[in-house]
Amino acid sequence: MEPLLIETERLILRPLSEADIPELVPLIGDRRVAATTLRIPHPFHEQDARDFLGSAAKENELRLGIRLRNDNTFIGGMGLHPYPEHKRAELGYWLGVPYWGRGYATEAGRAVVKYGFEKCGLNRIFAGHFKHNPASGRVLAKIGMKYEGCMRQNIVKWDEFVDIEVYSILKQEFDSALK
């Protein structure tokens, strides 16, 4: 079987590996990145990266590193956390701060959603973002997800309750958009 590789116009997405750790830690370790995500701690150390990589296999998650095609620069990560019994998955992603606002998350998100529906047999892909991070909501809308609502004070991040805005896309909606 060929190794998983997803290519877009500007990006290459492939499974994260130990070789990515030296580039991953400085980007994901930025407090501004951690502040926009549920599962990224701050500070983030090399051992956190090793634990993160090891947990992907246990949880059967697709975790991809995002690299620029033109120079192979590591810029972030994206993945799907599956719930196979329901044919659904949660889309999660992060980008290093120098790469925010350039459309990379949208481009990678479209490709991973397509992969989820076409290669993984999913029926629904959903994602949530912190209410105080509306840029992430714009990414989700641009990749075709529909807003479902706000889960008020749904999680605790750094000892504060945070609202989560939830979006999703169904396979039938994705298929219709392609026609």
**Domain assignment of residue 174, yes or no:** yes
pLDDT score, position 69: 97
pLDDT at 1: 33
Residue 2 banded pLDDT, cuts 50, 70, 90: very low
Whether 168 is in a domain gets the answer: yes
Q: Is 95 part of any domain? A: yes
Report the pLDDT averaged over residues 151-157. 95
Q: At residue 17, does pLDDT exceed 50?
A: yes
SS3 for the chain, per residue?
Answer: CCCCCEECCCEEEEECCHHHHHHHHHHHCCHHHHCCCCCCCCCCCHHHHHHHHHHHHHCCCEEEEEEECCCCCEEEEEEEEEEHHHCEEEEEEEECHHHCCCCHHHHHHHHHHHHHHHCCCCCEEEEEEECCCHHHHHHHHHCCCEEEEEEEEEEEECCEEEEEEEEEEEHHHHHHHHC
pLDDT at 134 exceeding the cut of 70: yes
Q: What is the CATH number of the domain that holds 45?
A: 3.40.630.30
Where residue 151 falls among pLDDT bands split at 50, 70, 90?
very high
Structural domain of 125:
6-178
Query: How many distinct structural domains can be found in the chain?
Result: 1
| First-residue to last-residue Cα distance in the chain | 30
Domain assignment present for residue 151? The answer is yes
The string of pLDDT tens digits covering residues 90-111 is 999 999 999 999 999 999 999 9
Q: Which residues are within 8 A (CB) of 130 and not within 5 positions of it... i.e. 6 or more apart?
A: 36, 38, 136, 157, 162, 163, 164, 165
Average pLDDT over residues 161-179: 91
21 within some domain: yes
Instruction: Give the residue-averaged pLDDT of 35-54.
Output: 88
CA 32 to chain centre: 16
pLDDT tier, 177 (very low <50, low <70, confident <90, very high otherwise): confident
Q: How many CB atoms lie within 10 A of CB 44?
A: 20
> Above 80 in pLDDT, residue 153?
yes
Asked if residue 56 belongs to a domain, the reply is: yes
Please give the Cα distance from 9 to 129 (Å, whole number).
Answer: 26
Q: CA 35, CA 158: separation in Å to the nearest integer?
A: 9
**Is the residue at 102 inside a domain?**
yes
pLDDT at 149 over 60: yes
Q: Whole-model pTM? A: 0.93
1 in a domain, yes or no? no
